[in-house]
Structure 1
Amino acid sequence: MMQVFSEWANQSSPGNENVSSLPPKNDVKDLFQSLLSLMVALSGVMGNTVVLWLLSFRLQRNSFSTYILNLAGADFFFLCSLIMFFLMELIGFYHRTFKSVSPFFGIAIWFSYISGLSILSAISTERCLAVLLPLWYHCHRPRHMSAVTCALLWTLSLVLSILEWTSCVVLNSQVDWCQIIDFFLAVWLMALFMTLSVCSLVLLAKMLCGSRRQKLTRLCVTIVLTVLTVLICGLPFGIYWFLLIWIQWLPSSVLVPSSSWSLLLSCVNSCANPIIYFFVGSFRQREQRPTLGLVLQKALEDTPEVEEAGGNLTPETMEMSGGSAV
């Protein structure tokens, strides 16, 4: 996958013999996609920076806000890697002799992409456990489970990315090892997407169906909207790499989705997460000018709307909803 990523970057940035000349007409579409992706990524970096700053210094963290902090970090790193990659690509449109370090950005993009999906899958899984088995969850959940889980997922994603880089780029002759790592990554991606799909369906069914349906909370809405955005905008990027892995066994008539558009959709996905947090947090907000910290805190509250309106909160609900803005 790293090899294909590097080759795609070099092919999409052909340039001309004359450094000052414009890109050829058949590359105008790629140039437009790169500029559009760059603008979306820049806006996403600003949004995730605000989320990182608020959760790190302005709000008291709880179990789920720790996950959101790490998810924002993965989105921030993913968007920064894409910004550098697209800048290298834009320079390549005008400078034929320019040599980008696209393999490095390939491993950075892949590492942050896997990390974000893994952390979001952990959020969805833990939320499903809290909804389906509330008594067991609150009695047996380890205190530092969120931090430990995120650390393990970051480490696993880094190891997989380094193995991919080493076997497919550095040791180019070790084709068997490259295929094994690619196969394991494909299985891991499928498992993550299946987890996200099943957990989102369970949360939706628990909130909307049945006589004992779960009371709607802002945290559940935030998680469901984030998962749906990933399945719509983040899935094409994973499908693209999955098809690249198995393309040699596919018929020639099978169309592989464009990598440019899959990267653009991934930018939209990482950019949409802060928008979801602040939209859910500001929805039906009674204060005229709430602070960003208060809005983000509201989006991560596990307080049902009925209880929130009545003002009577149980100690367990106060503990789950997190701290207040400083």
Structure 2
Amino acid sequence: MESLSFLDTAEKGNQTNNGTELPQNNNPYFELDAQEMALIIIPVFIFVISIFGLTGNGTVVWFLGFRMNRNPFTTFILNLAIADLGVLICTISLMIVLTVFEFSPTLESIAWLTLLCISTFFFYITGQFLLTAISVDRCVSVLFPIWHRCHRPQHLSTIVCALIWILTFLSIGLCSYASLAYLFEKQFFFLFVFLIPPVLCFPLMIISTVILLIKVCFRSQQRKKGRVLRAILLALLFFLFFAFTFSFMILLLLLGFDISEPSLIVGHLCSCLNSSVNPLIYFLVGRKKHSRSKESMKVALQRLFKEEEHGRAELELQVRNQI
């Protein structure tokens, strides 16, 4: 499950299959210590969390993509849910292929491991950039509400999302090709994946989070509007905690620090939680407080995302009345 071992596995597999058999462990007896137990238990948690995350993100994609008219805000949320869905699908697929590889190491399984590893990085980085765009968009909507509601370009969200997908695909594709073709050391690939996006994204997210906290928590007028901003704040806080933990561990490993394999597995667990938690946030923030009746996720999502449309209509009406 160690991220940095996937491309190493591909490299060693190609070398051993050129003329010799892949090495196998012939010792059928072994004892499980605490570290080995962690390597078994934590992947089980990752698998279970990924299943729930797939269900939640799939519901968000289905609802925003096919059951609700999209606006600039929900366009961002839809693309973020697609990116998280891709991370979770690749994570589950990696676990399955890695299990098969342990029992039957073949060139085909090595190729699948490499492809799934690169795909996971692609969706992971795309999600970082999308959440950064969402945080900046919400920050602008709070600081300059009239411009954001009335003068913001209509298709700006769609253009930004398209550019993020295309540029990330080209960057990951070129770096992956150069790394696998030995044009440069694969450490540069991982430095790009785990250093460049955090350097670009984390400062913007932190600044946006602080501004939103000040506007929402310390101003009663903003606190009454509530749901959408609270959902984005929670998503940003969880992302900064979970994604930073995973990226920080990988960076320490790349810089030569000794990071144990269970710690890296915990990093994978944090990444999985980051991709799974957003639908739960939307549901908890969107549902009615103190409601005795059980609400479906569809109703909670509709209440949450309809607030954006109502707020836009109210502000446009106020501007027209002032004019």
**TM-score bracket for the superposition, by shorter chain length:** 0.7 to 0.9
Matched position secondary structure for 1:288: coil
Using the size of structure 2 for normalisation, the TM-score is: 0.80
Distance 1:61 1:7, change over 3 A: same
Q: How many angstroms does 1:138 deviate by?
A: 2.6
Counterpart CA distance in 2 for 1:161 and 1:269 is 21
Q: How many angstroms does 1:286 deviate by?
A: 5.7
Alignment correspondent of 1:114: 125
Q: How many angstroms does 1:88 deviate by?
A: 2.0
Q: How does 1:62-141 map to 2 (within 5 A)?
A: 62-95=71-104, 99-100=109-110, 101-141=112-152
Distance 1:10 1:178, change over 3 A: closer
Q: Is the CA contact 2:252–2:259 (under 8 Å) kept in the aligned structure 1?
A: no
Q: How many angstroms does 1:285 deviate by?
A: 7.1
Counterpart CA distance in 2 for 1:287 and 1:58 is 26
Q: How many angstroms does 1:142 deviate by?
A: 0.6
Bigger helix share: 2
1:147 to 154, 158, 163: 158
Matched position secondary structure for 2:83: helix
Alignment correspondent of 1:44: 53
2:182 to 155, 160, 172: 172
- Where structure 2 has 5 or more consecutive residues not aligned to the other structure, the ranges are 13-22, 318-323
1:208 to 211, 214, 217: 217
Q: How many angstroms does 1:314 deviate by?
A: 7.8
Counterpart CA distance in 2 for 1:137 and 1:84 is 41
After superposition, give the CA deviation of every residue in 1:235-254 in whole Å (9 maximum; x if it has no partner).
22222333344x15xxx578
Matched position secondary structure for 1:153: helix
Q: How does 1:7-46 map to 2 (within 5 A)?
A: 7=8, 16-17=25-26, 25=32, 27-46=36-55
Counterpart CA distance in 1 for 2:206 and 2:42 is 29
Distance 1:221 1:3, change over 3 A: closer
Q: How many angstroms does 1:220 deviate by?
A: 0.2
Counterpart CA distance in 2 for 1:34 and 1:10 is 24
Moved more, 291-300 or 265-274: 291-300
Moved more, 110-119 or 154-163: 154-163
Counterpart CA distance in 2 for 1:125 and 1:216 is 18
After superposition, give the CA deviation of every residue in 1:153-193 in whole Å (9 maximum; x if it has no partner).
11121112112211222x21433x96388358623322211
Counterpart CA distance in 2 for 1:254 and 1:181 is 16
Matched position secondary structure for 1:258: helix
After superposition, give the CA deviation of every residue in 1:99-139 in whole Å (9 maximum; x if it has no partner).
44321111111100011111111011011001001122233
1:236 to 240, 245, 248: 245
Counterpart CA distance in 2 for 1:285 and 1:303 is 23
Counterpart CA distance in 2 for 1:211 and 1:291 is 29
Counterpart CA distance in 1 for 2:68 and 2:138 is 21
Identity %: 28
2:271 to 266, 270, 288: 266
Alignment correspondent of 1:324: none
Supply the RMSD in Å over aligned alpha carbons.
3.4
Q: How many angstroms does 1:194 deviate by?
A: 1.4
The letter of the residue matching 1:265 is C
Distance 1:111 1:184, change over 3 A: closer
Q: Is the CA contact 1:114–1:157 (under 8 Å) kept in the aligned structure 2?
A: yes
Alignment correspondent of 2:228: 219
Q: How many angstroms does 1:77 deviate by?
A: 0.4
Q: Does 1:298 align with 2:278?
A: no
Q: How many angstroms does 1:282 deviate by?
A: 0.7
Alignment correspondent of 1:160: 171
Counterpart CA distance in 2 for 1:260 and 1:158 is 26
Q: Is the CA contact 2:246–2:271 (under 8 Å) kept in the aligned structure 1?
A: yes
Counterpart CA distance in 2 for 1:143 and 1:128 is 18
Using the size of structure 1 for normalisation, the TM-score is: 0.80
Counterpart CA distance in 2 for 1:211 and 1:296 is 24
